[in-house]
Chain A
Amino acid sequence: MFSFIANFKKNANRKKLKDSAFEFLFEDDKSGEYVVFDTETTGLNPKVDEILSIGAVKIKDNKVLTSQTFEVFLQNEKEISSTSIKIHGIRPFDLKDAKTTKEGIVEFLNFIGSRPLIGYYLEFDVSMINRYTKPLLGITLPNKMIEVSEIYFDKTISLIPQGNIDLRFDTILRNCSIPNMGVHNAVNDAIMTAMIYLKLTKEKQ
C-alpha cells in the first residue's frame, strides 16, 4: 500500500520533468551504492536561504569511498549572515571561483544518480536542493531517503525505552565513537555521517 503511494508520487513527479536528459534520476539503481550528502547554507529557512556548498561521498558495502568525494561551491545573491559564517567558515571571498547554481546542481545530480540518499536531518538538505531543481527541472529529488538520526533513535530507544534521546550530531558522533574530524564543512560532515551510518548498520549486535 505504502509502496503504491510512493510509486504514485514518484510517477507524478516524473511527469513534471522538463528535461529528458535527467530521466536517469528515476531509473532503478544498479550500483549498490549510497550517497551521503550535506549542504552548507546561508541560513536555516529553505524558503529564503541559499546553498553555499554541497559535499557528498559514496558508500559501498562497508566502505566510505572517500576516493570519490564530491564538493562544489555555489554562487548566490543573498549575503551570507555573519552567524552562519562562524559555523561553516565560508566567507564571501571563498566563493570567488564558485560555480553558477545551475552548473553545481547539475554536477550534483550526475554524482548521485538514482542512488539512495543518506543524511543527518536530510529533509532540510533535500528541500534546499529542491529549491533549485523545481525551477530548473520541474521536479523534486525522487531518490530514496535514509535518515541516520532515525536509525540512531530506533537503536537507542530499544535500550532505554522511556529515555529522552539526545539527537545532536556531536552526541551521536561521540556515542558511535566516530572521530570528530574537527572542521565542519559539507564534505567532512558527509564523511562523518557516512561513518555513523556504517557503524549503525554494520555493527554486530
Chain B
Amino acid sequence: MSILDQRKLIESIHPFELLSSSAMDGLMKKIDIAYYPNQTLLVSPAISSIAFYIIIKGSVTEYIDDEIHNVYGAGDSFDADALIYGNTKAKFIVDEDLICYEIKKEDFLDLMQDKEIQGYFLQDFITRHKQLKDYDTQSELSPFLISKVSDIFLHTACIVEEDETIHSALLKQEKLKSKVILVKEKNGYSIVTDTDLRKKLLLGDNDLSKNISSIASKKIISIDINDFLFNALLMMTHNAIKRVVVVDGDKIVGVLEQLDLLSYFASHSHLVAVQIDKAQNIDDLKALGHDFKSLIVTLRAKGVKVRYITKLIATLNDKIYNKLFEMCVEPSLRDQCALIVMGSEGREEQTLKSDQDNALIIKNGVDIELFREPMMRLNGYLLELGFPKCSGNVMVSNEFWRKNSSAYKDLITTWTYDMSEESVKNMSIFLDAKCIAGDCSLLDELKEYLHNSFHSRDDVLAHIAKAVLSFETPLSLFSGFVLQKERKDKLDLKKGGIFALVHGIRTLSLQYEIKETNTVERIKELNNHGVIDKTFATELIESFDTLSSIRLKAMLEAKNIDEANYINPLSLEKNQRDLLKDSFKIINKFKKFMNFHFHLNMVV
C-alpha cells in the first residue's frame, strides 16, 4: 500500500508519468529516501553526482560561479545533466533540511533507455519549455484557437484575367459560387466585391462588355496559409472586411470567409468590434465594457497565447480610441494632428485596461488651443469608460503631452543630454508610441528624428539600459524557506521579470532603429539585425509569453489593482512554476547580455 503512495508521488512528477507500468514497478524497487541536514554539499565539480534526487521536503540551491542559478523545492528534481555528462560546473547545497528520494546513478542511466524520458532530460531549454507548455494545455482545454489557416475550410477563389469582360467574369463567379472575383493583373491581383458591382456597375456608367479590371479595387488583403487563424480574425477586425485572400507563397489558394471563421471561434470578438463601430455615443461604448473581460477570460481558457489575446484587445481598444477621436474632434481638425498611445498600449501588450498613456501631436502652424477642449473631452470619456488615469499624468489632458511637432523635437533633443529620471521615463514611454488616429506621418517623422538623435549615442543608451539591472530577478523566492524568512509570499512579476525584458529590448530597438513597438516583434527584428541569435530570441519570446500569461492569471484573480502584478509561486501548479523559473533564468541571461552589450558595469 505504501509503495503505491510513493508511486503516486513519483508519477505526478513530469516526465515520470511517461514510464510504462512495468518500468515503474522496476523503478519503485530502486528508490530510497535520504535525509541531508542543512548546508550539506551534495554535488560540486569536485564531488561527482551519485544519484538523481527528487525532493520530498526541503530545498536545495544550485550555484554556478557563486551566483544563485536555481532553487529546487518540493516536487523538483535534479540534476540529470550532472549524471549524464559525469561532471558539472554547479554546486548543489542544501539550504533547508532535505528529505528526498534517491535514484542511484546506474539506475537513473538505465531509466534513460526509455526514449521519451531520455528526450526530456536531454532537451535544451526551448523544446523542454514547449513540451511543458503542451503538457500544461493538454490538461486544460485544447488550444483550438491556435489552429492555422490551413485547418479551416477555404472557398475556391474565382480568378479571372484582367481583359475578360465583366459578363464572362460574373458567369465564372456564379459557377464557382464565389463571393468575390480576383482579377489577375501584370503586377499582382485586384478584387471585385459586391460593393464594387453595386457602386461601379449598377450605379456607375459601366456595362457588362467592359473589362473586369475597370471596376476592380486595388486593395487586396491576404494572409499566408500557414499563419494563425487568429491573425486572420485580427486582420478582418482591423480592416473591417468580411474576407481575406489566402496565399501560399505568391499563389492564391482560396478565400477565407468571415462567417466560417466566426463559426470556428466560439467567442464573439468580432461582435464586440462591430458594436464599437456602430456605437453612436459614449453610453453605447460603456455598455460594452463587460464583454471585454469575459472575452479575455474565454480566450484564455481556450489556451490562446497571451500575445494574441493582447493583440486582439489592442485592436479593440484602437477602435474605441478611434471612435472617441471622431466623437471629440471636428472633421476639419482630424488630419491636423495625430493621436498616439504609448506604454503598454503602444506595444499592444495591455490586457485588462491599463493606465492610459496617450498624447497628441499637432501639425506645426496649427493653433494648439483649438485642441484643448476636444482633448479634455476625450480624456473624460476614457475615464468614463474605465481606462484608469495615468499616475504620471501622461495624457492628452496634460499640456505637456499636447504640443506641436517642433515642440516635441525640442523635447527629444533634451532627452539626448538630460539624464534625469523624468526624462528617461518619458522617453521610454514615447519609444513605445503607436499612432491611432489622425495624420500618422506626424509620429513617423518624430520617430525618425528620435532615432537620428540617438545615432551612435551609446553613452546615453547605456545610461537608459541601466534600469534593466535595477531589480533583482526573484529566483531565490522559489523556495518556501526564503519566502518565510522574508515574510513575503509573493513575487513581483513586473519588476522581477517583465520590466527588465521589455525595457532592455526597447533600448536595443532604439539603438538599432527598429520601428516595431511590440516586444515580440522587436525581438524578432533584433534577431534579423543579428544582435541576438535565433535560439536566444526564441528563448526570450517564450519567456515573455510565460511571464505575461502568468501575469494575466494574476490580474484576473487580483482583487484590486495593487495585487495585479504579484504572484505566489507556491500557488502555481508545478509545471507553471517550472516554466516561471525557467523564464527567470532566461531573464538573468538577458541581463548578463545587456550588461556586456552596453558595458553596464562601467556606467556609474
Interface residues of B in 11-37 (CB under 8 A from A): 29-37
Which B residues touch A64, using CB under 8 A?
A: 32-35
Q: Do A67 and B30 touch (CB < 8 A)?
A: yes
Q: Do B1 and A187 touch (CB < 8 A)?
A: yes
Expressed in whole angstroms, the minimum distance between the Cβ of A34 and any Cβ of chain B is 13
Closest residue on chain B to residue A196 by CB atoms: B35
Interface residues of A in 161-205 (CB under 8 A from B): 177-179, 181-183, 185, 187-188, 191, 194-195, 198-199, 202-204
Q: Do A66 and B57 touch (CB < 8 A)?
A: no
The reply on A55 being an interface residue by CB < 8 A is yes
The bracket for how many chain B residues form the interface is 20 to 34
The reply on A69 being an interface residue by CB < 8 A is yes
The reply on B535 being an interface residue by CB < 8 A is no
Q: Are A183 and B1 also in contact (CB < 8 A) when A66-B6, A199-B97 are?
A: yes
Q: Do B2 and A188 touch (CB < 8 A)?
A: yes
Expressed in whole angstroms, the minimum distance between the Cβ of B101 and any Cβ of chain A is 8
The binding surface of chain B is classed by DSSP as strand
The reply on A16 being an interface residue by CB < 8 A is no
Q: Do B38 and A55 touch (CB < 8 A)?
A: no
Q: Do B32 and A67 touch (CB < 8 A)?
A: yes
Q: Do B32 and A183 touch (CB < 8 A)?
A: no
Q: Do B6 and A183 touch (CB < 8 A)?
A: no
Which A residues touch B3, using CB under 8 A?
A: 66, 69, 187
Tally of contact residues, A, Cβ under 8 A: 26
Which A residues touch B76, using CB under 8 A?
A: none
Q: Do B1 and A177 touch (CB < 8 A)?
A: no
Q: Which of B2, B29, B33 contacts A63 (CB 8 A)?
A: B33
Which A residues touch B31, using CB under 8 A?
A: 66-67
A69–B7 alpha-carbon span in the complex (Å): 14
Q: Do B29 and A188 touch (CB < 8 A)?
A: no
The reply on B486 being an interface residue by CB < 8 A is no
A156–B3 alpha-carbon span in the complex (Å): 32
Q: Which of A65, A178, A188, A202 contacts B32 (CB 8 A)?
A: A65
Which A residues touch B36, using CB under 8 A?
A: 62
Q: Which of A179, A182, A194, A198 contacts B57 (CB 8 A)?
A: A179
Some 22 contacts from A to B, beta carbons below 8 A apart, are A55-B2, A62-B34, A63-B102, A66-B101, A67-B29, A67-B30, A67-B32, A71-B2, A177-B57, A177-B97, A179-B56, A179-B57, A181-B2, A181-B5, A183-B5, A187-B2, A188-B1, A191-B2, A199-B35, A202-B35, A203-B37, A204-B39
Please give the residue numbers on chain A whose beta carbons come within 8 Å of chain B beta carbons, in ascending order.
Answer: 55, 62-67, 69, 71, 177-179, 181-183, 185, 187-188, 191, 194-195, 198-199, 202-204
Please give the residue numbers on chain B whose beta carbons come within 8 Å of chain A beta carbons, in ascending order.
Answer: 1-3, 5-6, 29-39, 56-57, 97, 99, 101-102
Question: Can you name 4 extra interface pairs (CB under 8 A) apart from A64-B33, A187-B1, A199-B99?
Answer: A67-B30, A185-B1, A203-B37, A203-B97
